[in-house]
Each structure stands twice: as structure tokens, then as C-alpha cells.
Amino acid sequence: MGKTTLCKRLQEAHIGQNLITCTTRPARSGEIDGQHYYFLSNEKFKQDLADNKFIETAEVHGYFYGIRRQYVEQELANNKTLILNIDVQGAATLRPLFPNNHIDFFIDTASIETLHERLKNRSEDSPDVIKLRLAEAESERIRKDEFQHVLINDDLDTCYKELENYITAYRKEQHV
């Protein structure tokens, strides 16, 4: 649905700090550990989870994802704007932790068919993984009304500009 690309563009525009998520999934072609994700073994992830090192975690498509608590606390202590590329589970976990100082977006496609074409065309996932991702997208779409803003990513540049405008207005309102 374009979350990662949009988050990367926001970070490049210096709108906020994009925190790097930890995951147990294997790296995709071109992904670099510590730049795109922190790729952890299942054992390391479970140990960090037991040690309460994550502020939020989720299991997605059979892999675990989590954002390290210390990074969030450190950036917030430095009055930084954070950009978190998380799913609906993660957003639901974090909303109560930051009830008065967050803005959230559900990034969607015009249709599930559009998403299917995008996943197929990027040639990174097997047909079984695409099927799983589409099922997950359908279940996430049901929860999009939980978000403050829903953006349809039909055109990446248009969606980015809309996202950027919301964040700029929010930062002005918060005096950040």
C-alpha cells in the first residue's frame, strides 16, 4: 500500500526521524541490516521481547516485527518527530501510549485488485506470500476507521503531498 516508500520520502525531506523496525523476516533484495530493518533471529527477537525491549510488536505473515523502546524514548526526549511504519496492530498498541501527541494515517489503495497488481509487479514475493498479504490487507482495511486520516495511494506523489501537508500542519499546531 506504499507505507515504506512514503515513510522513506518523509525522512528524506527531514520531516521526521524514521525509526528502524526489527524483524525476523529475511532481507529482501537490496535491503541492508541497520538501514532498512534490523534483521534478528527468532531467538534474539524472543529474548528482546522477554527483556521488554520493544514498545510494540506484531506478528505479520509469520514473521515478528518490533520497535525498540529505547529508540522511541530517546528520540522523544530530544523532542524529535517520529515516523513509524507500522501496521494496524502496532498503531492500536501505540495510540494509548501517546494519546495527545500523535497523528496516524491508514495508507490504502483504491482496491484490493490494485494492491494485488503492485505486489505481483514488484516481484519480491511468492504467489503464496502475495495471497497471505492480500488476506492481511483485507483484514486491516476493516480497521481503517480507527485512524485519524485515510489516504488512498493511487498516485505516489499526490499521496505524499497530502501526507506531508497533514504532518506540516500538525507540527505547526504542536509547535514542533
Say if residue 16's pLDDT is above 80: no
Burial 109-139 (b: 16+ CB within 10 A, else e): beeeeebbeebeeeeeeeeeebeebeeebee
Q: Does domain 3-174 have CATH number 3.10.400.10?
A: no
Determine the average pLDDT of the residues in 48-61.
92
Residue 38's DSSP bridge partners are 22
Residue 18's DSSP bridge partners are 83
- Rounded to 10 degrees, the C-alpha dihedral 159/13/86/41 comes to 140
Say if residue 1's pLDDT is above 70: no
Instruction: Give the confidence band of 176 by pLDDT, cuts at 50, 70, 90.
Output: low
Does the predicted TM-score (pTM) go above 0.85?
no
- 3-class secondary structure, 13: coil
Separation CA 21–CA 57 (nearest Å): 9
Q: Which of 11-20, 115-124, 128-137, 166-175 shows the lowest per-residue confidence on average (mean pLDDT)?
A: 11-20
- Rounded to 10 degrees, the C-alpha dihedral 91/94/99/100 comes to -90
> For position 150, what pLDDT does the model report?
95
Q: What is the DSSP letter of 37?
A: B
> For position 2, what pLDDT does the model report?
79
- 3-class secondary structure, 55: strand
3-state SS, one letter per residue, for 158-175: HHHHHHHHHHHHHHHHHC
Q: How far is residue 134 from each of residues 26, 80, 90, measured CA to CA in Å? A: 19, 34, 18
Q: What is the DSSP letter of 60?
A: E
